[in-house]
Amino acid sequence: MSIPRTYSFTRYLTAKKSVDDRALNRYVWQSLSAALPCSTAEKPLHVLEIGAGLGAMVERLVAGGLLRHATYTAIDMELTLIAEARRCLSQWAATQGWQVQQDSPVQACPDGPEACPGAHEIHMQRPGREITVATEAIDVAHFIARERGRRTWDLLIAQAFLDLVDVPTTLPALLSLLRPGGLLYCPITFDGGTVFQPEIDPEFDRVIEACYHQTMDQRLIAGKPSGDSCTGRHLFAHLRAAGAEVLAAGSSDWVVCAGANGYPADEAYFLHFIIHTVHTALAGHAALDAERFAAWIAQRRAQVEQGTLVYIAHQLDILGRVPAFLVATRE
Ligand SMILES: C[S@@+](CC[C@H](N)C(=O)[O-])C[C@H]1O[C@@H](n2cnc3c(N)ncnc32)[C@H](O)[C@@H]1O
């Protein structure tokens, strides 16, 4: 592919699917499967996914047979992503032989459709299985404020999400949405490793990596800390501090390289998007000579075109559980 002139986050998330499929930790996935309670039509599993993007995890769980009877609430702050998630999911389910029915703006929104932009429900049915997916465009903080003490879920999923927020304050609030004994699954949680190979200049490569991670550590959203470049490893202690136990953990590194036929699927675009992200994050950074950094970016782009760039991001998948005896005293 030629170097993109514009960048689309929707296309990036679509391209990310095949990278995630390879990366997800099988042991943690199997532990999740084993820990999920049985569901029936009368007692469906209640799942909440925050920062759901295009809904790739819904597809994965349904295809993997982890959801049989379930209500799945998928939220994301971006209305365009939620709308696209709904479109992709309905289309995917229909091609997989599910009977699909879509509801107009929903009853699922307790405060009426105007209060819940993008709120919709998709009903998927096939013999012995019934899944309802409710989608909504909403900031997770607003969602927590609205739902706390109102509803609880059996499983909360946060894929590639927790490294974008302030975990010490967000995690306890998220856990309060789980029923006692409920599960928290956090796959693809960034953990402080960004590797581009081959090396261009080992010293300069290292400075770029350090500065890039620093932008995550120093990120402020609405004046509040919102990120940690080592979220994965820090999550163990945060979970413990919030009263949850870790049931399983393992690495889920992204490893992207070209084969004889180039990069798989749309992964060349994925790489260009990652380079664009690094470029945008570090443009004008005081520790980087602007000309040298521009040349570095151009070289990385050329490596994608030549199929020589290897990209590795270190990440962790973590499965946690809140105690079965936990009651509403948690903050
Ligand atoms: C890195 S993407 C991951 C998307 C999806 N989980 C995946 O792995 O494909 C992070 C997602 O979180 C959403 N997001 C970020 N901050 C959010 C917030 N405060 N509330 C709700 N969604 C948020 C973004 O819009 C984005 O779709």
Q: What is the mean pLDDT of each run of 10 residues along the chain (331 residues)?
A: 89 98 98 96 97 97 96 97 95 96 65 68 96 96 96 98 95 97 98 97 96 94 89 98 97 97 97 97 94 97 97 98 71 47
Start-end of H helices in 162-282:
167-175, 202-217, 231-241, 267-282
At residue 154, the pLDDT reads 98
Ligand 1 atom nearest the C-alpha of 138 is 21
- The binding-site residues of ligand 1, defined as CB within 6 angstroms of any ligand atom, are 13, 16, 51-53, 56, 76-78, 81, 139-140, 159-161, 164, 188
Instruction: State how far the alpha carbon of 299 is from the alpha carbons of 90, 101, 151, 253, 292, in Å.
Output: 40, 48, 51, 24, 11
Query: Based on C-alpha coordinates, what's the Rg of the chain?
Result: 20
Q: Look at ligand 1, atom 14, and give the residue with the nearest C-alpha.
A: 51
At residue 104, the pLDDT reads 62
Going from the Cα of 161 to the center of ligand 1, the distance in angstroms, rounded, reads 6
Mutate to test the pocket of ligand 1, among 24, 84, 135, 164 (most ligand atoms within 8 A of CB): 164
Ligand 1 atom nearest the C-alpha of 56 is 9
DSSP letters, 45-91, are EEEEEES-TT-HHHHHHHHTT--SEEEEEEEES-HHHHHHHHHHHHH
Residue entry with tokens 């469906």: 44
Mutate to test the pocket of ligand 1, among 77, 188, 220, 274 (most ligand atoms within 8 A of CB): 77
Distance, CA of 60 to chain centre: 13
Neighbours of 325 (CB within 10 A): 7
Burial of 129 (0-12, 13-18, 19+ CB in 10 A): middle
Residue entry with tokens 């607003």: 142
Ligand 1 atom nearest the C-alpha of 16 is 9
Cα 231 from Cα 217, distance rounded (Å): 10
Instruction: State how far the alpha carbon of 66 is from the alpha carbons of 17, 39, 70, in Å.
Output: 18, 10, 10
Distance, CA of 186 to chain centre: 8
At residue 331, the pLDDT reads 47
Q: Look at ligand 1, atom 27, and give the residue with the nearest C-alpha.
A: 53
Q: Look at ligand 1, atom 1, and give the residue with the nearest C-alpha.
A: 160
Answer left, alpha or beta for residue 51, where phi above 0 means left and psi between -120 and 50 means alpha. Answer: left
Cα 117 from Cα 79, distance rounded (Å): 7
At residue 224, the pLDDT reads 85
Q: Is 246 helix (H, G, I), strand (E, B) or coil?
A: strand
Whether the Cβ atoms of residue 50 and residue 165 lie closer than 8 Å to each other:
no
